[in-house]
Structure 1
Amino acid sequence: MIDNNKRRLDTIKHFYGDESIKNKVSLVIVHNDTFHCDDVFSVVMLSLINGKVQFIRTRDSDIIKTGDYVCDVGGICNPHSHRFDHHMYYFNETFSEDYDVKLSSSGLVYKYCTDELFKKFDLNLEGDFYNYIRNEIYENYLLPIDAIDNGYNIFKDVLPRTISTIVGSFNSPKQNFMDKDGVLDFERYEEEQYKQFVKAADLIKDDFIRFMTKIKSVDVKYFSAVKELVNSTTEKYIISPCIAYTQGLISKITKILNKDLLFVIYQQPNKFRIYAFRKSKISFESKCPLFKDWRGKRTEDLKQYSDFPGMEFVHSSGFTGQADNLKTAIAMCEYSIKHNE
C-alpha cells in the first residue's frame, strides 16, 4: 500500500527542503503549463488563511495526491478534503441560488473557506450582516474571475483589462523556449512559469488586501450608520453628514431597504456636493441626472438661473454638481427630479 503521507513529505522535501517539513507548511497543488487568475488567486487565499504555503505546479496524479489542498486540477471537487477542481463535465456548482455563474477553483476556495479568510482580516460578523459582506466580496471580486475562467460572455463592445487579464499576462511566451524546429523545452519553460506565477500571486495578493481593507474600513465600519440614515430618509435625495458614507455603500443599502433614492448631497466645508445615483453598478448612466440646461456650466454661466443662488458647477453628463449652500443643493435635486426627461 502506498503511504501518501510519506510521499507528501518526500515531495515537499524534494521541492522545498527539510525546513518546510519541520515547520509543517501546507502544500497546495495547482496545474502546470498556462496559469489563470483562478488558480493563482486560490494559492493567494490559502496563503492568507494558512500564513504561508508551498505550492507545486503539476498534473502528475501521484504528486497531486500529496497536497493538503488541490486547486484547479485533479478532477475532484470535495471541500471536506480540500479538493477544488471545477473542470468535470458534471460540475455545475454556483456560489448560491442567487447566481447562475459556475464556480472556478478560486470561487470554490472562497465559498468553503470564507470563515477562515474572514478571521485573517479580523472580520467577526454574524447573521444577515455576515451574509451581506460575504456576498459583497464574492460579487465584486470573485464573480468576475469565475465568469471569465468559465467562458461567460460578460462584455459587450469593449474588452476591459481586468485582474484576470493582468494575471494572465504574466504567463511566459512559449516561443521563447522553443528550438529552431519549434520543439518546446518544457522543463525550462516551467522553471520560468513558476517565477511568473509567484509574481502574479504577489500582484493579486496586494490588490485583494487593498480591496478587503476598503471593505473593512467602509462597508463594515459604516454599514449600521448608513442603514439608519437611509431608513430615516423620506425624500428622493439623501443628505449625508459624512463623506465616509460612500455613494456606493449608500446605493447598496438603498437596494437592501428597497428604496429609490436619486441623489446624495454631501456636506463639506463651504460647499455641498451632489451626486446622482447610477441606474446600476455596471452603468455610468444616472437614474436622474441634474437638469440638462445646467450641464457643463460653472459659476459665472450658472448665475443666470437666479432661483438657484450659489450654484458652482454641474458636470456635462449631469452626474454631479455643487452649490455653496444646502438650500440650493436641495432645490437643484428637486428641480431635476421634477424636470427629468
Structure 2
Amino acid sequence: MISLLTRGIRRVFLTELIVPRQILKMSASGDGTSVHRKVIGTHSGTFHCDEALACFMLKKLPEYANAEIVRSRDPAVLDPCDIVVDVGGEYNPSKHRYDHHQRSFSETMNSVRPEKPWQTKLSSAGLVYLHFGERVIKQLMGEPADQTKVDAIYDKVYENFMEEIDAIDNGVNQYDGEPRYIISTNVSSRVKHINPDWNETADDMDERFQKAMALVGSEFVDKVTFYSNSWWPARELVEDALNSRFEAHESGEIVVLNAGGCPWKEHLYALEKDLAIETPIKYVLYTDQAGKWRVQCVSVSSHSFQNRLSLPEKWRGLRNEELSRLADIPNCIFVHASGFIGGNETREGALCMATKALVMNKT
C-alpha cells in the first residue's frame, strides 16, 4: 500500500488538470469510434480554493479522470456539462449541480449527513467531498480499503483540511473577537495569490487555474497520505495495546506499545470511548529513540497538564542509582520533576515502575 501511495498519489500532473474552454464532448476511442467525454463546468474569472479543489477531486474519479474542465459563466456553455461546481445557482445532486452561492443554500455536513458533527456551511469543495469524498479517498489509497479505515480518514480529512476551506470561502470566522495577528499563508490565501493582481493584465487564466488545482490538490493528497500511512497505523497500534492491556498488568490500567515514537495520545482518548473502557488508562510504556523504555502518565484530557495518576512524589527529580535504590527497582534512569514521565533501561523495569506507582498512589 505504502509503495503505491508514495509512488502514485503524490504525483500531480499539471497537463491533465484543465483543457481549453471549448466543449468537445466526443473523442476518439482506441478503435477509432467516437466516445462521450465528460465535461466539468466551473466559473470563469477570478478563482478560489474551493472550486480548484472540487475540480481536482473529481479528476481523481475514474468517470472524470479524462474529463475536460470548462470555465464559464454562460448558462448555454454550462448547461451541457456533466457536472457543474461553484456556479449556476443550483444544488441538485441528482443533476450533479454543486453551487453554494444561492440565497436558499445553507447546507452543512451535519444537515445532509446528520451522523456527522460539522455545522460549517459547505463550499463547492465541501459539496464534492460530501458526495464523492469517500470514493476519492479509496482511489488515492489504491487498494481494496477497509470501510472502517476509509470512514475514519474521511472524517479526519474533513475536520483538519476541508472544513477550513469551506469556512474561509463562506466567510465564517474561526472565533469571535479580533485576532491578535493575521494568518495569510493558509492554502486558500495561497490559491488566491495565483490570480493576477488588480493592475495586471493576464491572458493565462486557465494556466493559473491549473496551478491552483495542483497546489491545493497536492496538499489534499498529502493529508490523505498522512492519515492512511501514519495516523491509521498508529491507531491500530494503540488499539492492539488496549486490547491486550490485561496481559501487561491485571489492573488493565497500564498499556505497553510495541513500537516507539507512536503518537498515541489522540488515539488513546478516542479508543477509550469507542471500546467503552470503564477504568481509564493511567500509564503508557514505549521505547525512546535510544531503545530505552519510558513510562508516561496519561493526562486527564488531551489539552491538560494534569495527570490521571502521576508518578510517586518521592521519585520525582531523581536519577539513576539514587532512583533505583529508593524505588527498589533496578536500571532506573530518571523521573521528571513534575512526575509526568520516567525512564528505565528495560521493559521489565519500566513495567515495574508503573506497577509500583499504581499501587503506591492508591494506598
- TM-score greater than 0.5 by the shorter chain: yes
**Residue 302 and residue 92 in structure 1: after superposition, are their counterparts in 2 closer, same or farther (change >3 A)?**
farther
Aligned-pair distance for 1:75? 0.6
2:208 aligned residue: 196
Q: Is the 8 A contact 1:25 1:52 kept in 2?
A: yes
The AA in structure 1 aligned to 2:126 is G
Aligned-pair distance for 1:245? 4.7
The answer to whether structure 1 residue 122 and structure 2 residue 158 are counterparts is: no
Question: Over residues 47-97 of structure 1, what are the superposed CA-to-partner deviations in whole Å (9 max), with x where a residue is unaligned?
Answer: 111323332222222212132221111111111221111112222222233
Q: 1:140 aligns with which of 127, 139, 160?
A: 160
**Residue 228 and residue 326 in structure 1: after superposition, are their counterparts in 2 closer, same or farther (change >3 A)?**
closer
Q: Is the 8 A contact 1:239 1:265 kept in 2?
A: yes
Q: Is the 8 A contact 1:302 1:312 kept in 2?
A: yes
For structure 2, list consecutive stretches of 5 or more residues without a partner in the other structure: 1-17, 30-35, 246-250
Aligned pairs (5 A) from 1:242-253: 242-243=259-260, 245-247=262-264, 248-253=266-271
2:257 aligned residue: 240
2:193 aligned residue: 169
The AA in structure 2 aligned to 1:311 is I
**Residue 335 and residue 57 in structure 1: after superposition, are their counterparts in 2 closer, same or farther (change >3 A)?**
farther
For structure 1, list consecutive stretches of 5 or more residues without a partner in the other structure: 1-11, 178-187
Q: Which moved more, 1:81-90 or 1:244-253?
A: 244-253
Compute the TM-score of the two structures, normalised by the length of structure 1.
0.71
Q: Is the 8 A contact 1:30 1:58 kept in 2?
A: yes
**Residue 124 and residue 317 in structure 1: after superposition, are their counterparts in 2 closer, same or farther (change >3 A)?**
farther
Q: Is the 8 A contact 1:276 1:287 kept in 2?
A: no
The answer to whether structure 1 residue 205 and structure 2 residue 229 are counterparts is: no
Q: 1:85 aligns with which of 99, 106, 127?
A: 99
Identity %, equivalent residues: 24
Q: Which moved more, 1:241-250 or 1:67-76?
A: 241-250
In the aligned structure 2, how far is the partner of 1:164 from the partner of 1:13? 23
Q: 1:217 aligns with which of 229, 238, 247?
A: 229
Indicate the structure whose relative CO is greater, using CA pairs within 8 Å and at least 6 residues apart: 2
Q: Is the 8 A contact 2:39 2:83 kept in 1?
A: yes
SS at match of 1:15: coil
In the aligned structure 2, how far is the partner of 1:40 from the partner of 1:332? 52
In the aligned structure 2, how far is the partner of 1:133 from the partner of 1:123? 14
In the aligned structure 1, how far is the partner of 2:181 from the partner of 2:254? 33
Aligned-pair distance for 1:118? 3.5
1:270 aligned residue: 291
The AA in structure 2 aligned to 1:217 is N
Q: 1:101 aligns with which of 120, 123, 133?
A: 120
In the aligned structure 2, how far is the partner of 1:236 from the partner of 1:157? 42
- When the two structures are aligned, how many residues end up with a matched partner? 310
In the aligned structure 2, how far is the partner of 1:157 from the partner of 1:332? 43
In the aligned structure 1, how far is the partner of 2:282 from the partner of 2:322? 25
Q: 2:65 aligns with which of 46, 51, 66?
A: 51
2:171 aligned residue: 151
Aligned-pair distance for 1:225? 4.9
**Residue 263 and residue 144 in structure 1: after superposition, are their counterparts in 2 closer, same or farther (change >3 A)?**
farther
In the aligned structure 2, how far is the partner of 1:273 from the partner of 1:326? 8
Question: Over residues 204-238 of structure 1, what are the superposed CA-to-partner deviations in whole Å (9 max), with x where a residue is unaligned?
Answer: 22222222222222455565553232234355553
In the aligned structure 1, how far is the partner of 2:323 from the partner of 2:231? 38
SS at match of 1:102: coil
Report the aligned-residue RMSD.
Answer: 4.1
**Residue 332 and residue 13 in structure 1: after superposition, are their counterparts in 2 closer, same or farther (change >3 A)?**
closer
2:3 aligned residue: none
Q: Is the 8 A contact 2:22 2:70 kept in 1?
A: no
2:240 aligned residue: 228
Aligned-pair distance for 1:244? 7.2
2:333 aligned residue: 311
In the aligned structure 1, how far is the partner of 2:89 from the partner of 2:155? 27
In the aligned structure 2, how far is the partner of 1:119 from the partner of 1:15? 30
Aligned-pair distance for 1:197? 2.0
